C-alpha cells in the first residue's frame, strides 16, 4: 500500500498541478485518498480534477471544491472562471464523476481521524483548506502524519522569500507553521532541472491514450490562456512527490515563520535548527533532473500503475 495522501491543489491555474496529480495517480507509491481544490473558482477546478480522475480510471476518488478565498475572509462564492486556465477541459458536469458533498476541511479532518498518523496533506496551491481545517478541527494536527508544502524560495545561506502558495494565503500558512503539525516546506524551484522539453511534449501528443491526450490538450490550453506561460511545461509541484519518494531532495531540520502586516506582502523567514519543528527541503541536483523527468514520463505514459516500485516513500 502506498503513502496515503490528500492532494490540495489550485489545479487549472498553472499546468504543473494537473501534470503532477496525474503522476501521483499513476504511481504505486501513493494512495490518493482525496483531491481538494482551493482558491478562486474551486468548482471549475473540481471539474478539472474529476476529468483527470476519470481519465486514469479512478472516478471513485473524492474530489471536493474547497475554499475560494483566503483566511480570514468568509467562504463566499467566487466569480465563475476566475483564475482557471484549462477550464475548457471540463466546462460543465457532463460525463464527470460526482463531486463529494463534504467541505474540504471536514474531509481532511475526517480522513485524518480515520487513518491516524498516516495521512499526508500535500499543498500545491494556497493553504486555505488545510488552514481552515486546523482552525475548525484542531485535533487534526495530532492526527495528520504531515503537511508537505510547495511554498518557499530559500536555500542555505540565503535570505528566504515567500513563495506563491504561501503568499496567496499567509494566514493559513502561519496557522500550519504554528499548529504543531509536522510541516515540510519545500522550495518552489526544487525541481527546476526536471521540467518537460519539446521532446517530452511530443511523446505525450503521440502516445494516443486517454491520459496523454488529456495532458496534451491541457498544455495547449495553458499556453493559449496563460499570458506568462513558459515555452515548455514546468513541474514545480513535483517537488512534494519527489520528497516523499525519498532520495531526491535533501532536507534539514529548521524553523519557518511568517510575518504578516496590513498592507504589506507577508515575509517568510527560515533558519536551520537541529531542534526545529519543521523540515526544510533543498533542490533535486541538476545531474538528476533528467532522471526525475523520465520517471514522470514513464508513469504518465504507462497503461496502468507498475506493480513493483524501486522507490521507497520517505518518513
The reported pLDDT for the residue numbered 197 is 96
Q: What's the per-residue H, E or C state across 132-148? A: HHHHHCCCHHHHCCEEE
Q: Which pTM was predicted?
A: 0.94
The reported pLDDT for the residue numbered 82 is 58
The reported pLDDT for the residue numbered 146 is 98
Percent of the chain predicted with pLDDT > 70? 92
Q: What's the length of the chain?
A: 315
Lowest mean pLDDT among 178-182, 203-207, 227-231: 227-231
Give tens-digit pLDDT for 173-189. 999 999 999 999 999 99
The reported pLDDT for the residue numbered 160 is 86
Lowest mean pLDDT among 80-89, 250-259, 276-285: 80-89
Per mean pLDDT, which of 83-87, 126-130, 159-163 is the most reliable? 126-130
Going 80 to 85 to 88 to 90, the CA torsion angle's sign is: negative
Give tens-digit pLDDT for 3-46. 999 999 999 999 999 999 999 999 999 999 999 999 999 999 99
Note the helical H segments in the chain.
15-25, 42-55, 104-114, 128-136, 140-143, 164-167, 170-178, 198-207, 210-225, 238-245, 289-301
Give tens-digit pLDDT for 5-14. 999 999 999 9
Q: What number is the average pLDDT over the span 176-205?
A: 96
Mean pLDDT estimate for the chain: 92
Cell readout for 107 is 474531509
Q: Which residues pair with 162 in a beta bridge?
A: 152
The CA distance from 261 to 254, in Å, is 24
Cell readout for 36 is 481538494
Residue 57 buriedness (CB in 10 A; 0-12 / 13-18 / 19+): exposed
Domains in the chain (CATH in brackets) are: 3-301 (3.90.245.10)
- pLDDT confidence tier of residue 84, bands split at 50, 70 and 90: confident
Amino acid at each position: 500500500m502506498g503513502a496515503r495522501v490528500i492532494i490540495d491543489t489550485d489545479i487549472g491555474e498553472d499546468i504543473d498541478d494537473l501534470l503532477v496529480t496525474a503522476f501521483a495517480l499513476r504511481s504505486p507509491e501513493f494512495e490518493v485518498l482525496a483531491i481538494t481544490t482551493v482558491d478562486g473558482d474551486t468548482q471549475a477546478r473540481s471539474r478539472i480534477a474529476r476529468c483527470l480522475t476519470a481519465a486514469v480510471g479512478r472516478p471513485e476518488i473524492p474530489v471536493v471544491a474547497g475554499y475560494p478565498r483566503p483566511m480570514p475572509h468568509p467562504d463566499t462564492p467566487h466569480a465563475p472562471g476566475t483564475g482557471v486556465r484549462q477550464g475548457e477541459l471540463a466546462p460543465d458536469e457532463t460525463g464527470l464523476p460526482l463531486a463529494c458533498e463534504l467541505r474540504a476541511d471536514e474531509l481532511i479532518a475526517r480522513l485524518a481521524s480515520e487513518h491516524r498518523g498516516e495521512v499526508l496533506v500535500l499543498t500545491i496551491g494556497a493553504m486555505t483548506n488545510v488552514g481552515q481545517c486546523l482552525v475548525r478541527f484542531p485535533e487534526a494536527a495530532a492526527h495528520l502524519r504531515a503537511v508537505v508544502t510547495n511554498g518557499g524560495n530559500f536555500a542555505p545561506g540565503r535570505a528566504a522569500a515567500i513563495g506563491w502558495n504561501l503568499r496567496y494565503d499567509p494566514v493559513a500558512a502561519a496557522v500550519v507553521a504554528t499548529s504543531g503539525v509536522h510541516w515540510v516546506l519545500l522550495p518552489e524551484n526544487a525541481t527546476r532541472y526536471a521540467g518537460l522539453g519539446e521532446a517530452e511534449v511530443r511523446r505525450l501528443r503521440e502516445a494516443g491514450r486517454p491520459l496523454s491526450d488529456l495532458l496534451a490538450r491541457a498544455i495547449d490550453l495553458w499556453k493559449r490562456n496563460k499570458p506568462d506561460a513558459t515555452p515548455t511545461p514546468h513541474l514545480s509541484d513535483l517537488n512534494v512527490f519527489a520528497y516523499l519518494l525519498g532520495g531526491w531532495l535533501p532536507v534539514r531540520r529548521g524553523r519557518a515563520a511568517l510575518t504578516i502586516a496590513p498592507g504589506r506582502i507577508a515575509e517568510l523567514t527560515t533558519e536551520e535548527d537541529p531542534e526545529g519543528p519543521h523540515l526544510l527541503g533543498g533542490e533535486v541536483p541538476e545531474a538528476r533532473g533528467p532522471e526525475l523527468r523520465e520517471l514522470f514520463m514513464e508513469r504518465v505514459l504507462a497503461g496502468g500503475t507498475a506493480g513493483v516500485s524501486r522507490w521507497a516513500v520517505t518518513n
